[in-house]
Amino acid sequence: MVNRTGANTGKHPIRTAAQVVGAVFLLVGILGFIPGITSNYDTMQFAGHESEAKLLGLFQVSILHNLVHLAFGVAGLALARTVASARTYLVGGGAIYLVLWLYGLVIDHESGANFVPLNGADNWLHLFLGLGMIGLGLALSRRPANRR
C-alpha cells in the first residue's frame, strides 16, 4: 500500500523485523528495571562503571543503559511505519551498535569513559546485534529481480 506521501506502508518483512527488534529493545529496557531479573539491583547507578547491576546476571546495566534500550525500542516501533525508515533503523542502528562494540573494546572498563556501562558480555552482544541488524536491513530490503 502506498499512502499519499508515496511511502510504502504495506506489510513488508523489513517493517516486521524493525517492529520485532524494537519490541525486544523495549522488553530489555523494562527487564533492566526489575529486581531479580537484574541481579545486584540495589547497586544500580544512573550511569558509570560503578553500577554492579547485571541484567540476567550477565550484562552490566545502569539506569542510563536501560533508558537507552527503551528509547531504541520506541525508535524501532516508530520507524517501522515505512519500509525506508525501517531499513534506516536496522542498518543505522546496527552501525551504532558496531561503534558501541568498538568503544567497549578500546575503553578501560574501570574508567570514567565507561559511562554506559559496558562489560565483556555487552561487547559480544553489541557485535552480534550490530551485524544482525545490518544483515536484516540489507537482506530484507533487497528487491527481487524483475520477472518477465
pLDDT in tens, 6-18: 456 578 999 999 9
DSSP at 136: H
Q: How far apart are CA 99 and CA 126, in angstroms?
A: 9
Residue 4 exposed, middle or buried by CB count within 10 Å (0-12, 13-18, 19+)? exposed
106-135: average pLDDT: 90
Residue 148 has pLDDT above 60, yes or no: no
Residue-by-residue DSSP string for 7-54: -B-S--HHHHHHHHHHHHHHHHHHHTTSBTTEETGGG--SSSTT---E
pLDDT at 2: 46
Q: Are the CB atoms for 69 and 33 separated by under 8 Å?
A: no
Residues 4-59 pLDDT 10s: 444 565 789 999 999 999 999 999 999 999 999 999 999 999 988 888 999 999 99
DSSP at 60: E
